[in-house]
Each structure stands twice: as C-alpha cells, then as structure tokens.
Structure 1
C-alpha cells in the first residue's frame, strides 16, 4: 500500500499531483514511473510560477532538484501549443558543460516523449558541428538543449530554425555560465530570441554577473531562494546552509608527503562504497589514475578518471561506467563538480582543495542529494588550516578527522612503479609541475601561499624519483626539505613498458642527437668560411695569416660562437623563469631527454 505521507526531510508534503495549476495526467504518470511523488522546495515554488507564465530567478542549493523544476513546466507550456513544425523552436535550455547538458537531455526524454510531434536535440561540443546540422535538417529540433558555444554556432549557421514562437528559455547554472566566459555567446542567443517568452534563470549562487543577466533576460522575475536546512551538532537550532542537510563534512590535516598514503588508506576503508576524488589539474587525474590502479591493495577497486582534456566520447563513457557501478572511485577535476546527478555517491574526497572556494559546495553536493546521507572530506596541509575557519564563516562547518595511524607508506610502491615504467615517471613529473603552477593561481592566496609550499615533501607525496628543475624552485627558493632522491639510477635509461612508445622514444633521442651533431657541423662550416674570407682579405703574408687562423683566430672565433650559444641558452632559461615556455621545450634546447 502506498504511503500517504512523505518521510524524506528534503522533500515537502506537496505532491506533484496537488500543484496548482494542475499538471497533465501523462506528466504525473511519467513522474511516478520515475519514483517522483513529492516535490522538493524548489520544485514546489518554481513549477507553479513558470506554468502561470512568470519569469523566475532561482537561487537554490546544489542537489535541490532544479532540473525537474524547469523541465516539468517546460513540457506543460509546450503541451498547450498546437503541433509545431519540425524546425520551429519552442524551448531552449542552456547549461555550462557537456556532461550537464547530456544529463538534462536524458532526464527530459520521458517527459518530452509525451508531447506529440515534438523533438528534442542535444547540442554540445566534442563532435563535428556538421553532424548536428544534419540531424536538425533531417529530424528538426523543437527543444534545443546544449552548451552556449555549440548552440550559438548552430544558430549562426542555420537560417532554417524558426525562433519566432519560442515559448521558454532556461539558463541552468547561470553563475557557472558566466564564470566560464560564455557571456558573449549567451547574450547572442538571447538577442536572437523573442522578448515575449518565459525565462527561468537557475543558479546555486547569486553573483553580480547573474543579477545583471537577470536584468537583461528576464521581465519582472519572481525571485525564488531555497536553501537546505541543516541542524548544528552543538545546537538544536536549524540554520540555513548551501550544502545538503544529510551531509557530514570533515577535514584531514596532514603533511604533503603523507597525503597519498592517507588517500590509499581511505579508499581501502571504503572499498565497497561509491566515491568521487577531486584533484586540481587534469595531469594530476591522469597520474593518480595510473598510479592508484597499480597499487596492489587497490586492485579490486574500480577506478575511473575523467577531466576536461579528455575527448568527449571518453568522458561520456567514463560517466556512464561510473553511473552503472555499485561501488568504485571517480577521479576527476571540477569538470564533474556541478550539476551532475550521479546516483549513489557515498563519499566525496577533495584531495586538492578547489582553486575557487565557490566550487567547494558544488563538489560536496554530489553526495547527500535529495535528503539522503553522505560524507565528504577535504585534505589540507598544516599551513592551510585557516581554510577551516574561512569555510565556517561562509556557512560551511567541518569536523576534524585524525590521520590514520594504520595507513601503509605507499611512496616506495609508487617509486618502484616509476623505475619500472617511464610512463609513470613522466606523468608524475607533469602532474607535480601542473599542481605547483595551479596552486599559484589559488583564489585564496592568503591561505594557500605558494611561496610557503614545501616542495620537497610535496614531491615525496607524488613519489617522484628526483626534483624537476623548475623555475619556481630556483627563483623563489621553495623548501626542498624532506625530499630523499633515489640514488644509483640513471634516469635516462628508464624505459616505457609500452614497447611502441619506447621504440618511438629511442628514435626521438637519436633524431635529437643527429640534429645536434648536424648543427655542430654547420657551425664548423660557417666558422671555416668566415676564416677563409678573412684570409683572402689579408696582405701578402697569407701563409702567416693562415697559420694565425688555425691558432688564436680560430680560438677567438670559436669562443665567440660559444658565447653566442650560451647567450641563447640564457635567453631560453629566462623564458622558462617567466613561464613563457614549458619544461619540455627547455629540456629539448638543453639536449636533455624527453621527460
């Protein structure tokens, strides 16, 4: 027998079937088939407003059910229209990332399918724009769901699309749209749409840019502000929060050379759960995805990496795989921090605190969604402890978790992997350098002071065999204390396990060696030519001049050339210090190996 009351504290007692104006029977049926009976606060407040032709500006916590809050009224508004022509656009939904757009598209399908002769199209990057053009030409597009770049591109290319009868525009994650630099594309899209329309602007944070966007795109909007309610452990009072009510937040303070061992211990402890681990850079995701998969204690755990530098097909497959597994770990950057609704996330681990503190709530909001319980933890270095108080002042309180004393030291394992496979060595160096440079760009630079970064301990935590020759280290003298270099190994001789990569590396080494030798020969020829020219311009004592040319003059010429080469090397070194060239470019100039 169906319960008549709602027991989920994240939901209201308002049923979708009780909303006014009433929803269509087919929509109620589609909602119930997806196990949606009771509304969340944002749904209860927003759906009636959009259905009665009001513009809305919605400020709601992550995981509050915003997607259904705009999809349900969108479908209801379109149901009232007569059957549209194939290329007549009635609704547009804009979101900042491909993953979020894809998620919205998939959630929308059961509801859009209830509309006769209405076709929705997903428009995101990662594939040829001509493929999207062909789909729209052949099948039409009444509801366009996608990212600003691809949507604006399609609108510029296709005169066949008719926006004159557009009914509704939705801007999802509006603050992120602006943060990611889509202001120009969003403005272009809005300029192409009729002013007589409904507009919904949904955002987790109300920034100045979002308010300006609301003024430009909405007419007398109704403001809907919904925050999660959480109960303080030291008090029975309810307090407003922008994190889910069922979320237990912790922080772990440990030295940089202990972080990786603590992470592995935490993953082992939660081997039967579903976790997301956030890193600051794409290179870090690549490295830890490779290393963690080779640690024996983690062999039984499914590890799935995803970041913004991956091809779209790979990102889609990674998310699909992680969604399907009952337990496993998603290793990612902030590309998976906002809007994504992956079911069953038990634990969110922030191995690196986000550059932008606003992303903290979005990250932890992947768990404890819609009233469920979840845990989250952020790793901090001892010098970063002020971050706890900083977040508390922003309404996010974390409890301390002590370092695990039973955590095994994984550094020897990682170093052994690097010695056996050059891929681990190179990815580790790249991840380390990318992290240091990303750390320099931290928005909270007064807490995350990169000049106080203990580079030696950090390198040990990454399991590096040696400290890379970084301009940041030389110029600012970051502390290398705590780093123990590996002795007795010639790093140039470390090979790729992948035989084809090793063969290519050897070919590259030989090619560079041959090029250097050729350059030396060319310099020698130029020197001889200049010397011969000088000899021809001398007086009758040509033999004496020739003898001088082979002695002091030749030495002078060679010295000048050496000084010129040193000056060029110095110019490259200065470029490296300024960050205008990368380490690998400098290494090639110096004739070093390719890592």
Structure 2
C-alpha cells in the first residue's frame, strides 16, 4: 500500500471524519473507496441495492467522476448486492433516473448534477446516507461549487436522522477548504503523508483569489524543466519536442496542455496533415480532449489514450485534475496556467504511484519571471535549452555530430520547417480558418490573466505578428484583428500595437492588411 493508504484506511474504517492531504497520484481514491465498501459490507442488516444511497462521492469534473466510478465498480464486482453508479452532465437524465429508481448504494457525481436530481428526481432519498466524500475539494471550491455543496449538506441533514462520516481530500489547503472543514467535519483527523511538510510549510498568496494557500506537494520522482521560446518559434518548438520524444527517443505518452479548445483543434488537425507535407514522421497517435467535446467523445478519448503504449494528448485543464492515465512520461505546458496551484495539478498527471516523470513549461522571454513565482511555491525548475529541443528536427544519424554544428543545423531546420508549415496553412482553407480562430482565442485567453499576474502575463507584451506565426499564419489578417477588437477591446489591442490606432468600424478598414487597419 502507499503511504496515504496506510495512514488513512484505519482512520476511515474507524468512522472518523478526515481531511486527507497528499500528492497527486498517491492512491487517495483507492484508500477511501476501500474504506467505504468495507464499511458498507459490515452493516447489519446487509445493504442491498434496494437500500438506496448510503455513500455519496463528489468530484469536480465528469472525467474524474467516471474514473472514480471505475474504481468502485471494480471493487464492488465481487459484492453483487452493493451497487455503484455515476451521474454527471452529458448523460441522459432519464437513464440516470432509471438507475436511481432501480437502486444504487454508492453515487459518484459532480455537485451540479446531483443538485439537479435532488430537485427533480423524486425517487432519490438521502435518508440512508452514512458517508460523504469530497474529492479534490480545493478544485470543487475553485469551480464555484460552494453553494451546491452547502445545499447538498443541508438536504442530507434534512432527510437523514443519522450522523454522516465526512471525508475531504485536497492537494492544497486553501481558506475555502478550511471553511468547508469547519462546516462539514466534526473533530476531524488530519492525515498528512509527508511529515516534513508541517515543518517546511510556507504560505503563498493565490493570485486568483488573494487567499493564503499552503504550498502543495509534488510527486517525489518528478523532474521539472522550463524552456524559454520566442512566440514565433512556439509551434516549431512543440513539433520538434514531439518528434524528438516519438521518433528519436521513442518515449511513451505526452500530455500537452494548451490554453483553449480552438488551439487544440488547430494543433490536432495540423498533426493530422503534417506528415503528408513534411519530412517529420510523427509515429505517435494523437488525441484531443477539451470541454467542447460531448461526454461520450471525452470518455472514448480517455479510454483510447489509456490503452495505447505511446501517444500525444492535446488537452485543456479538463485533464489537469485527478485523471489517472498510466505511464505518462512528459507533461508539456505549452501555455502557462498562471496559478501555481493549477501548475501543480497539471504536472501531477505524470510521476504517479512512485514512477518517474518529467514536466516541461514553455515560457516567452517576457514571462521568465514566472519561474520566481513558482519558487515561492516551492517549485524549482531547471532549464532545458531551446537549441537542444530543436535537435528533434534533425535525423537520427545527425544526432551524433558536433554539438555546436547541431545547434546551427537545428536552427536552419527550424526555419525550413516553419516555412513549410506556413505554406501548408496558407494553402489549406480549413487549417487557415482553424489557425485564425486559435490566434484570436489565444490572445483572448491571455487577456484573462488575473491582475496579480499582469506584471508577468500582460497583453501588452504580446507581439501580434509573432503570435500569428506561432499558429503558422504568414501575417496577421485584418479579419482576425477586427475579431480581437470586438473580444479584447480597442484599448487592449492598441497596447499590442503601440503607436498605431484602431478603426472604429469595418468600413474604415477595407484592406485586408493589418497595417491599413492600424492607420
């Protein structure tokens, strides 16, 4: 058993409320799942599906709910009379109501969906609920589920005459989590897997909320890197990294975090087309995962990605919390998450369960100060040189030549590859449209960094021409600038185009060139 399982299972079996803090990938889900099922089995009279809900498990995302359900499903398989079910958005309510009517003892759900059933599913009774688990409690609160959680606790209290055992699991200890502990837990036991943490605890001000946050724990076998890449080289650098790990080193799985679904759509389609026009042969299968996909598509993607031995998953922060994907070798953050807490959860997708893992953070020269911010959060990264990543564009037989010669060859190959990418996007109507949408979405997302981080991630630091090149656009077409004017605003757009002005209407910019728009 892992440390968290050894420490927590006896306490949970003893019926005590608990707050469990442990690094990601440490086996927390299995710990509370085993305890819940063991306690259910020991109840007299025996629990059957007709007994109704006795345990509620709440998680922040659909993917984590389905993954947690799989754990319970495997554990309850030998115990036919105990039934677990999963109810989340994206599924048919009628089917969920039928399952609840037939009888379920363990319900894994997201708070919003469960409230929907409390209000609209009359056969759902909470009178027999004995256990409540809030997994990823910090994320539940970050995502605005506080009111839903309060309503759930009230509903259980109103319907049930018995005391519930309540368990909170969280990688970080925020003020919101502390408030939830005070509200929901009675004489809780605090379970900490790293004894050094109490002695070394530091307080960090969360830039998103202004709240004090205790430093989070990182996987013990995680190696963290940062590379500094000018905006115009971001695309070719990502492709070089993927090619280096797939063709040259034959690494396993890579997770690439991007800022938005439009960016994922573009990169995913580009990988589809790339091998047709370039010398790079990407052997990896590639997948995409974002909130714009249907639940069935998201579930299939995760299942397929788990099955393959090697592959690239392009994803948003939908994949940053709780998902357990085996043997992820690298997590690449192509866009900074901003909040160091989110950084911790992203890199926690690798180096799980005691295995080795690597994480790479990509920053622009203007964003380098972010590494100092991470250091305050007890996160130390080492530099991976851009020139060495570009070695991934060279052939295998060229990897053994003189280091300085390889650097020059890598730079030349990067220019060559980027020209081909621009030609590919320019000539392909679908790719050009996707690139334009991704360009706009990237700038829009960049403008949403919180005020506390504006000194690092300020929209004025963006060079629109270079950002356009990071999506293989040969220039910055007028329609994209006009779209940015509508979404970001004229003032912000002026900051990115100093000493130039923005037109007040489309009629003032009949030309398709950005220079004319800025006149």
Q: Give the structure-2-normalised TM-score.
A: 0.81
Q: Which residue number in structure 1 is paired with residue 237 of structure 2?
A: 262
- Pick closer, same or farther for the CA change 1:72–1:129 going to 2, 3 Å: same
Larger mean CA deviation between 99-108 and 355-364 belongs to 355-364
Q: Which residue number in structure 1 is paired with residue 264 of structure 2?
A: 285
- Pick closer, same or farther for the CA change 1:229–1:573 going to 2, 3 Å: farther
Question: Quick check: 1:228–1:244 contact (8 Å CA) kept in 2?
Answer: no
Q: Which residue number in structure 2 is paired with residue 222 of structure 1?
A: 189
Question: How far is 1:412 from its partner?
Answer: 2.1
Question: Quick check: 2:138–2:172 contact (8 Å CA) kept in 1?
Answer: yes
C-alpha deviations, 1:524-562, integer Å up to 9, x for none? Answer: xxxxxxxxxxxxxxxxxxxxxxxxxxxxxxxxxxxxxxx
Q: Which residue number in structure 1 is paired with residue 467 of structure 2?
A: 458
Q: What does 1:330-409 align with in structure 2 at a 5 Å threshold?
A: 330-404=313-387, 405=407, 406=410, 408-409=414-415
SS of alignment partner, residue 370 of structure 2: helix
Question: Quick check: 1:228–1:242 contact (8 Å CA) kept in 2?
Answer: no
Separation in structure 1 between the aligned mates of residue 448 and residue 227 of structure 2, nearest angstrom: 23
Question: How far is 1:329 from its partner?
Answer: 0.2
Question: How far is 1:298 from its partner?
Answer: 4.1
Separation in structure 1 between the aligned mates of residue 338 and residue 269 of structure 2, nearest angstrom: 24
C-alpha deviations, 1:144-184, integer Å up to 9, x for none? Answer: 01111111212222232332221211000011111111112
Q: What does 1:31-50 align with in structure 2 at a 5 Å threshold?
A: 39-50=1-12
* 2:148 is equivalent to residue 185 of structure 1: yes
- Pick closer, same or farther for the CA change 1:67–1:181 going to 2, 3 Å: same
Separation in structure 2 between the aligned mates of residue 87 and residue 77 of structure 1, nearest angstrom: 15
Separation in structure 2 between the aligned mates of residue 355 and residue 281 of structure 1, nearest angstrom: 14
Larger mean CA deviation between 289-298 and 266-275 belongs to 289-298
Which residue, out of 7, 28, 37, partners 1:75?
Answer: 37
Separation in structure 1 between the aligned mates of residue 507 and residue 381 of structure 2, nearest angstrom: 44
C-alpha deviations, 1:360-393, integer Å up to 9, x for none? Answer: 0111111111111111100000011111111011
Q: Which residue number in structure 1 is paired with residue 445 of structure 2?
A: 438
Question: Radius of gyration: which is bigger?
Answer: 1
Question: How far is 1:347 from its partner?
Answer: 0.6
C-alpha deviations, 1:112-165, integer Å up to 9, x for none? Answer: 22334111111011122112112222x311110111111121222223233222
* 2:86 is equivalent to residue 122 of structure 1: yes
Question: Quick check: 2:117–2:124 contact (8 Å CA) kept in 1?
Answer: no
Larger mean CA deviation between 298-307 and 45-54 belongs to 298-307
Q: Give the structure-1-normalised TM-score.
A: 0.71
Which residue, out of 419, 422, 428, partners 1:421?
Answer: 428
Q: Which residue number in structure 1 is paired with residue 28 of structure 2?
A: 66
* 2:148 is equivalent to residue 159 of structure 1: no
Unaligned runs of 5+ in 2: 198-214, 388-406, 512-519
SS of alignment partner, residue 468 of structure 2: helix
Separation in structure 1 between the aligned mates of residue 39 and residue 322 of structure 2, nearest angstrom: 24
Question: How far is 1:229 from its partner?
Answer: 7.7
Q: Which residue number in structure 2 is paired with residue 477 of structure 1?
A: 494
Question: How far is 1:63 from its partner?
Answer: 1.4
Q: Identify the structure with bigger relative contact order (alpha carbons < 8 Å, sequence gap 6+).
A: 2
SS of alignment partner, residue 250 of structure 1: strand
SS of alignment partner, residue 273 of structure 2: coil
Aligned residues: 441
Separation in structure 1 between the aligned mates of residue 216 and residue 167 of structure 2, nearest angstrom: 23
Larger mean CA deviation between 326-335 and 144-153 belongs to 144-153
SS of alignment partner, residue 374 of structure 2: helix
Q: Which residue number in structure 1 is paired with residue 68 of structure 2?
A: 104
Question: Quick check: 1:241–1:396 contact (8 Å CA) kept in 2?
Answer: no
Question: Quick check: 2:229–2:363 contact (8 Å CA) kept in 1?
Answer: yes
Separation in structure 1 between the aligned mates of residue 153 and residue 505 of structure 2, nearest angstrom: 48
Question: How far is 1:259 from its partner?
Answer: 1.3
Q: Which residue number in structure 1 is paired with residue 100 of structure 2?
A: 136
Q: What does 1:574-589 align with in structure 2 at a 5 Å threshold?
A: none
Separation in structure 1 between the aligned mates of residue 301 and residue 471 of structure 2, nearest angstrom: 24
Separation in structure 2 between the aligned mates of residue 206 and residue 93 of structure 1, nearest angstrom: 20
* 2:262 is equivalent to residue 245 of structure 1: no
Q: What does 1:510-521 align with in structure 2 at a 5 Å threshold?
A: none
Question: Quick check: 1:364–1:376 contact (8 Å CA) kept in 2?
Answer: yes
Larger mean CA deviation between 422-431 and 336-345 belongs to 422-431
Question: Quick check: 1:87–1:162 contact (8 Å CA) kept in 2?
Answer: no
Question: Quick check: 1:274–1:327 contact (8 Å CA) kept in 2?
Answer: yes
Question: Quick check: 1:87–1:161 contact (8 Å CA) kept in 2?
Answer: no
RMSD over equivalenced CA pairs, Å: 2.4
* 2:63 is equivalent to residue 57 of structure 1: no
Separation in structure 2 between the aligned mates of residue 94 and residue 473 of structure 1, nearest angstrom: 39
Separation in structure 2 between the aligned mates of residue 99 and residue 451 of structure 1, nearest angstrom: 36
Unaligned runs of 5+ in 1: 1-38, 231-239, 482-568, 575-585, 588-595
- Pick closer, same or farther for the CA change 1:442–1:430 going to 2, 3 Å: same
Separation in structure 2 between the aligned mates of residue 150 and residue 572 of structure 1, nearest angstrom: 44
